[in-house]
Amino acid sequence: MSQLTDSTTPSTSSPANAEDAPTESSVTPAVDVAALGEQLMGNWAGIRRTARALAAQPAIKRIEGQTLTEHRARTMEQLHTLVAEKAVHRAFPKSVGGEENHGGNIAGFEELVLADPSLQIKSGVQWGLFGAAVMHLGTERHHEKYLPGIMNLEIPGAFAMTETGHGSDVAAVGTTATFDSHTGDFVLNTPFRAAWKDYLGNAAVDGRAAVVFAQLITQGVNHGVHAFFVPIRDEEGFLPGIGGEDDGLKGGLNGIDNGRLHFTDVRIPREDLLNRYGDVAEDGTYTSPIESPGRRFFTMLGTLVQGRVSLDGAAVVASKLALTIALTYGSERRQFTAGSESNEEVILDYQRHQRRLLPRLATTYAMSFAHEVFLAKFDDVFSGAHDTDADRQDLETIAAALKPLSTWAALDILQEAREACGGQGFLVENRLTSLRADLDIYATFEGDNNVLLQLVAKRLLTDYSRKFAHAGPGVMAQFVVDQVNEAAINRTGLRGLVQSMRDFGSTARSVGYIRDEDSQRQLLTDRVQTMVAEIAGRLRPASKLSKIDAAALFNAHQNALIEAARAHGELLQWEAFTDGVNAVQDAGTKQVLTWLRDLFGLSLIEKNAAWYLIHGRISGQRAQAITSYIDDRLLPRLRVHALDLVAAFEFMPEHIGAPIALGAEKARQDEARDYYRAQRDAGTAPVEEKNIDKGKRT
């Protein structure tokens, strides 16, 4: 018998709701595709469907093969279409004609990736970065003066934060805004080349203004980075003191006119400081409602977290699309006559093809459920329903945890889907190559993924140090409940941890029941807890070291920190997936999703088997059993439901757009099979040389 408990063997560590848990039987369960699709659409299903209807319009969809100039012009035209369709106003204040529907705004925005990622990102630059900065960092006077023009595209704008020399380290940007009390203006300067604002959407061609982030200096004191509304162009070109360059052709997203900006003695009216979190009086006196410069800086950046929320969601949508194409193609493409003398095999029936795609389908479901929780948390904060300082810190942490995982996964899924479709996947008409190129930048856009995970790790360590500052070893077992449950899961809406910590000493024994929900939770949670505890122990001497030596010690463990943060993010995804499974009412759908959730969880354990083996959490035999269970049980079961699981994504043919997933491959395969069948039936098929009797040949 497998080291994993057989379906007929009762588990002694079954979950509390075992009586409601799906059971395995010889009857193949069925998926309620419509109900599952509704669940996946989430809280803003109506807005998502409206956005998808818009994304299906020919005027919105990408035209492959356009030149750089043509693609940029078309994308700008598409933005005007969004304005005409009233698709951009949802998040803005009601005072200027908006709806203040923050979650719905992001839900609709991320679906635009189906039409053209350039459209999605350029609209994100205009309304999600430039407009949102004016809205969240400005005050009522800025709203009244600028938001109507931003909303209707009379003021196309750039979000001028990133510099050539400083990307993720925003606090160290070189651009300065120095207040001149004699004239009442700020004087904006980029003092050296590395301080040029770079990679800015709308900067090369279309932008008429920018929100510029610069070091605010007044009365000889640098108060840190603040945002300023700065006109940059009129009909004749750049305004005096402003210059720039076109970033030119990029590896993707070429419908966006990315460019560079620099400033020489550009004067900005004092009133155009976006002053929600810091203001300067006429005499140059600086005031802020937030006393701590560090907290003020992170609060300002935290108001712009929606960029990471939307990238997480767009990566999920792109992953769903890629797997819809690849799994549909795999269920129709035939290759080799492994099990039949006359019919070639559907390639999705090969185990290796299942191994390539089905675990990635499980990951996509985990990402999708986690994103909906993330989006609900975002809406709670920005609507004011739950908007404490702790809520905002949790939102920033979950954003920094999930955006890296989903954007990296999307690139992996797009690449594997492309390869799984062979040469057909390399054709631009089948979309995978273009999507892969466009989403490449998502891994560093809105924060480099590795830097974001480092922020998560620092939060984990901070919570750890607070918990154990004056505690003995007896409280260590409780750490995982407090850290992962209270700090990262309960306050983000993810399911609380209920597994008793008394089983930590017997993980090897309980892994025999690894299909059990609580056992998977125990292994995944234990890994996060142990990694954080180990790193904290190694970094403990830092408080007694010089600044240089402490930095060197931290750097020596940077990779371990990032791996711990990644494990934390994966746990959040698994918890969200489990919540999604437990919310399903239909028994068949629940069983299939349980298998899919198990595939996700066991794949994580399998991927990190070395860690679990080194730390004695599982034996070598049981590690092998996990792989066997995936290959021999989960993949065959899920293969039957693969098309239903992607059908639940609710993509219409206009969204898919790839001929190989819309009947072209099936038609080719049917034609070939009918041709050979007709030959056999008519007796006109030539005899294969290998089938000729050797005696007759001599």
List of residues 6+ apart from 261 with CB closer than 8 A: 158, 160, 196, 197, 200, 203, 210, 212, 232, 242, 243, 244
* Angle, vertex CA 471, rays to CA 470 and CA 476, nearest 5: 145
Neighbours of 317 (CB within 10 A): 26
End-to-end CA distance of the chain: 54
- By CB atoms closer than 10 A (0-12, 13-18, 19+), residue 538 is middle
DSSP letter string, 485-527: IIIIIGGGTPPPP---GGGGGGHHHHGGGTTSHHHHHHHHHHH
Question: Reduced to 3 states, what is the DSSP secondary structure of residue 215?
Answer: strand
Element (H, E) at 576: helix 558-583
Instruction: Give the angle 264-129-437 at the CA atoms, nearest 5°.
Output: 100
Nearest by Cα to 75 from 33, 122, 7: 122
Choose among 166, 286, 274: nearest CA to 219: 286
Residues in the chain: 698
Annotated active-site residue in 396, 446, 517, 570: 446
Helix, strand and coil percent figures for the chain, each rounded to 5? 60, 10, 30
- C-alpha dihedral sign at 652, 657, 658, 660: positive
DSSP state of 615: T
Burial of 205 (0-12, 13-18, 19+ CB in 10 A): middle
**Dist CA 550 CA 548 (whole Å):** 5
- Is the CB of residue 652 less than 8 Å from the CB of residue 56? yes
> CA-to-CA distance for 313 and 113, rounded, in angstroms?
10
- Burial of 124 per CB tally in 10 Å (0-12, 13-18, 19+): buried
Residue from 394, 380, 372 nearest 460 by CA? 394
User: Which CA distances in Å does 164 have to 167, 192, 199, 414, 493?
Assistant: 7, 10, 8, 29, 38
- DSSP letter for 130, please: I
* 256 SS3 class: coil
Pick from 406, 584, 374, 571: which is nearest to 491 by CA? Answer: 374
* 336 contacts: CB under 8 Å, gap ≥ 6: 344, 345
Instruction: Say if strands 221-231 and 237-238 run parallel, antiparallel, or are unpaired.
Output: unpaired
Alpha-carbon distance 174 to 195, whole Å?
5
Residue 619 DSSP class: -
The answer to whether 606 is a known catalytic residue is no
- Encode burial over 659-680: b for 16+ CB neighbours within 10 A, e otherwise: bbbbebbbeebeeeeeeeeeee
Which residues are identified as catalytic? 446
